[in-house]
Structure 1
């Protein structure tokens, strides 16, 4: 039978397993239970409407009998005022659990990443990495505490450091997307990052190679190819003299490595760098001279077919003989596509003495040559994979003879 006495240090020390519990004589419902292993826990029993609750106050050793008594008094007072303290406690636990999931880094890793993978598994890691790299100072913040003002301050700082508007947008937009999903899924009620309007980007810049630059680039590619093959041959002579294992011969290959075929293909197809990197041989039809950019690799999310001209076709034929007929067209390890050509590309530009020209500008070069050859803008749009003519129209000025012809119709 349970003991009845005031719960104090003395009564708790005297409590044995056989007693099972002790009920306090002063505070109604206040009691302590002892487990078969001797663990003592303090509770407050109360009734509220048709509900009976045994509210856990704490474990002996974590709180003292005096602290348990004070807590019992406080909670009994709340119950007397109609507060269901057990329900409040459960709600607090729910809020604590929710807070764990609504911290930006946890949300990105455990919730948003899984959703991104269902949308486009190849870009999921990149999106998460972009947000984390751009906003490391926010990773420990609750989503609800990320405000437009904070992002505006971040943008102002990046502008002072001369970060380009397009780059700023490339960080802010993924964060805004993540925040919108959190609202959609009920993790937060709202966010005000929609107030952060995208910075205006000057898309009018079109950098393409003039005839001299294109000639210099091609010469630099050939000279680089010869140099790499020569270095390999000399290296193998050195190895042979010392009985070292020889490296694969390059003299009979069409290309010493991936850079030349990659550049030539970009110049002749207008494919984006990511589309080239993720291109697989089963999307290359050499018999019908066409390459397919599958939907999951296309920025627009739509597949497109690009005819291969003679140079592109010869390049792929040669590269396939150099490498293999399946998997990724450009690999850095078996079954792993290359992910970067920055070092080789920058060295190539230096050798060709070409400045202010990005790898992406090869796409502009392709489009510009088409327009200057008289190809209509809608065909150029289809080949580039633009969703509409808004992006393609910037090449229109490269065909001044078309405008002149149009005006002369009424002259």
Structure 2
């Protein structure tokens, strides 16, 4: 049986026998207690904290904590980190993370922002937020891009999260600076926008139709309904131009067949907008309603949290969509590219770019102008005002 470690004054178990370790020191007559976790590591951390505090108390070379949240710092550490009373980057991260989690409507992605915040906290959490330099942030972003092979767009998102952490801190009067603002964005280029060719659409529709015909309406009615549902999901996406999140958050109460509009509550920029309903989309939606499918619970302990009147019975199309693309031999095509196809086909048909902007819900005409090369005639017509009027004869 291993020998018990020698007791250290000021180090104790929170509850005798629990193996959860704490430490305490007295600073200016006030008792400061701090918890360190369980097991040998928890005890070792508690012992190190107490011994470091006693050394500083004896020599006077450092700063003792007045609360459990403040660190024990030597004189050398104070010179680098401050005296422990300053607002740290870690504090800003904690404040912003709480805000993100408390506002899921504003931050619909509850996975990636907290992950980026945690990475920033891990690297800079101990630093005085007011003293962090833009050059340090820039160097760190360059390092992680080079060492981990991250895309420029990913680095820009990390920079954006860093800036939002500071912006939130400024709103809360915790800091008056934002060093991330001065960090330059990485060039991501224009990227390649993919559009669905007519022959590709034909192949894809054949695949989805075959999936429907595979299931007998008498023997396998539910499987047949699900296969029909998938074809209708694709039809609505391709011919309404809705973003994926807009489409799968659509509710029947927001579908107005009489006015031919779909009110979208959750959009990319957070502002509600209307999507428009052509005959093919209206027919698809009416057929969806007849299917009368509902989103299922994941398990008895994980009920589905979707509203009862959600239009689409499934919110995750990744598995069947990738399988259908594979069977149709279509590569490098994403669900979001249905939206690109929607816009490009409108422009190719001669629809004015301002109308395309309204149909797609682009906040800026600059987004719509990406499709201008599909309508050279519109550009030429607009440029015709520059023609010199010449008299004939």
Instruction: Specify the TM-score bucket, using the shorter chain as the normaliser.
Output: 0.5 to 0.7
1:399 aligns with 2:384: no
Which moved further from structure 2: 160-169 or 205-214?
A: 160-169
1:120 aligns with 2:105: yes
Alignment of 1:32-181 (within 5 A): 55-56=28-29, 92-93=66-67, 96=70, 102=88, 104=90, 107-108=92-93, 111-114=96-99, 117-118=102-103, 120-121=105-106, 123=108, 125-126=110-111, 128-132=113-117, 135=120, 137-138=122-123, 141-142=126-127, 144=129, 148=134, 149-158=136-145, 162-181=149-168
Structure 2 gaps of 5+ residues are 1-24, 33-46, 48-52, 72-83, 295-307, 389-393
Structure 1 gaps of 5+ residues are 1-41, 45-54, 76-87, 237-246, 333-337
Alignment of 1:375-394 (within 5 A): 375-394=351-370
After superposition, the Cα gap between the structure-2 partners of 1:377 and 1:141, relative to the gap in structure 1 and judged at 3 Å, is farther
After superposition, the Cα gap between the structure-2 partners of 1:398 and 1:135, relative to the gap in structure 1 and judged at 3 Å, is same
**Offset from partner CA, 1:53-108 (integer Å, 9 cap, x none):** xx41769xx9xxxx99x969x99xxxxxxxxxxxx978x5498298798463x654
Residues in 2 aligned to 1:263 and 1:286: alpha-carbon distance in whole angstroms: 19
Residues in 2 aligned to 1:368 and 1:403: alpha-carbon distance in whole angstroms: 15
Aligned-residue offset at 1:216: 1.7
Higher helix share: 1
After superposition, the Cα gap between the structure-2 partners of 1:124 and 1:209, relative to the gap in structure 1 and judged at 3 Å, is closer
Which entry has the higher C-alpha Rg, 1 or 2?
A: 1
**Offset from partner CA, 1:373-410 (integer Å, 9 cap, x none):** 11111111112221221111111110122234455673
Aligned-residue offset at 1:256: 2.1
After superposition, the Cα gap between the structure-2 partners of 1:321 and 1:150, relative to the gap in structure 1 and judged at 3 Å, is same
CA RMSD of aligned residues (A): 4.1
Q: Is the 8 A contact 2:194 2:337 kept in 1?
A: yes
1:303 aligns with 2:272: yes
Q: Figure out how many residues of one structure are paired with residues of the other and give that number.
A: 317
TM-score between both structures, scaled by the size of structure 1? 0.64
Aligned-residue offset at 1:212: 1.2
1:259 aligns with 2:244: no
Aligned-residue offset at 1:159: 5.3
Aligned-residue offset at 1:363: 0.7
Name the counterpart of 1:201.
188
Q: Is the 8 A contact 1:273 1:360 kept in 2?
A: yes
1:249 aligns with 2:218: no
Name the counterpart of 1:369.
345
Name the counterpart of 1:321.
290
